[in-house]
A = this chain, B = another copy of it.
Amino acid sequence: MNGAEALTRTLADRGVQVCFANPGTSELHIVEALGADGRIRGVLCLFEGAVTGAADGYGRMTGRPAAALLHLGPGLANGLANLHNARRARTPLVTLIGDHATYHKRFDAPLESDIDALAGTVSGWVRRTQRSADAAPDAAEAVAAAMAPPGGIATLIVPADVSWSEVSLSGRAATDITATDITTVTARRPAAVPEDVIASAARTLRAEPGCAILLGGPALRRPGLLAAGRIAAATGARLLSEAFPARRERGAGIPAAERLAYLPEMASAQLAGTRHLILAGARVPVTFFAYPGVASSLVPEGCQVHPLAEAGDDACLALTSLAELVATADPAATIDPAATGDPAGSGGSAAQPPRTVPEHDTPLTADSAAAVIGALLPEGAIVCDEANTCGYWLEGATVGAPPHDWLTLTGGAIGQGLPLAIGAAIACPDRGVIALEADGSAMYTISALWTHAREQLDITTVIFSNRGYAILGLEVQRLGLKESAPDLLGLTRPDLDFTALAAGMGVPASRAGTSRELAAQFRRALAEPGPHLIEAML
Contacts and interface: CB of A to CB of B under 8 A. Distances in A.
Interface of A: 21, 23-26, 28-29, 31-32, 34-36, 42, 44, 46-47, 49, 73-75, 77-78, 80-81, 84, 88, 100-101, 103-104, 107-111, 113-114, 117-118, 120-122, 160-161, 164, 243-244, 283, 286-290, 292, 296-297, 410-415, 440, 443-444, 446-447, 450, 453-454, 471-472, 475-476, 479, 481-491, 493-501, 503-506
Contact of A475 (B25, B101, B414, B486): B25
A114 B104 contact: no
Given A160-B289, A505-B496, A28 B484 contact: no
Given A121-B118, A450-B443, A476 B28 contact: yes
B412 A286 contact: no
A29 B443 contact: no
Nearest to A99: B290
A488 B35 CA distance: 9
A244 B84 contact: no
The 9 closest A-B pairs by CB, nearest first: A494-B506, A35-B484, A35-B485, A500-B504, A74-B413, A101-B290, A104-B290, A77-B80, A501-B504
Given A34-B485, A47-B444, A496-B505, 6 more contacts: A78-B81, A109-B287, A114-B120, A497-B505, A498-B504, A499-B504
A440 B486 CA distance: 33
Contacts of A290: 100-101, 103-104, 160-161
A286 to B, nearest CB: 4
A31 B485 contact: yes
A297 B472 contact: no
A497 B487 contact: no
B292 A493 contact: no
A279 to B, nearest CB: 14
> Copies of this chain, how many?
2
B80 A479 contact: no
A427 to B, nearest CB: 19
12 contacts: A21-B488, A25-B475, A31-B489, A35-B488, A47-B415, A77-B80, A78-B444, A103-B296, A108-B283, A117-B121, A454-B493, A495-B506
A485 B42 contact: yes
Contacts of A485: 31-32, 34-35, 42
A496 B484 CA distance: 39
A496 B447 CA distance: 10
A95 to B, nearest CB: 14
Contacts of A122: 113
A443 B289 contact: no
Contacts of A292: 161, 164
Contacts of A73: 84, 121
A121 B486 CA distance: 32
Contacts of A101: 290
A481 B120 contact: no
B296 A107 contact: yes
Q: Which of A26, A110, A117, A493 has the most CB of B within 10 A?
A: A110
Contacts of A243: 110
A154 B24 CA distance: 29
A81 B36 CA distance: 31
A454 B491 CA distance: 9
Contacts of A104: 287, 289-290, 296
Contacts of A496: 450, 504-506
Given A78-B81, A289-B160, A483 B32 contact: yes
Nearest to A440: B46
Contacts of A454: 493-494
Contacts of A88: 110
A180 to B, nearest CB: 27
A44 B122 CA distance: 28
Q: Which of A35, A415, A488 has the most CB of B within 10 A?
A: A488
Nearest to A475: B25
Given A44-B488, A484-B32, A289 B109 contact: yes
B297 A107 contact: yes
A499 to B, nearest CB: 8
Contact of A479 (B28, B74, B450): B28
Nearest to A482: B32
A479 B111 contact: no
Given A109-B288, A447-B443, A488 B81 contact: no
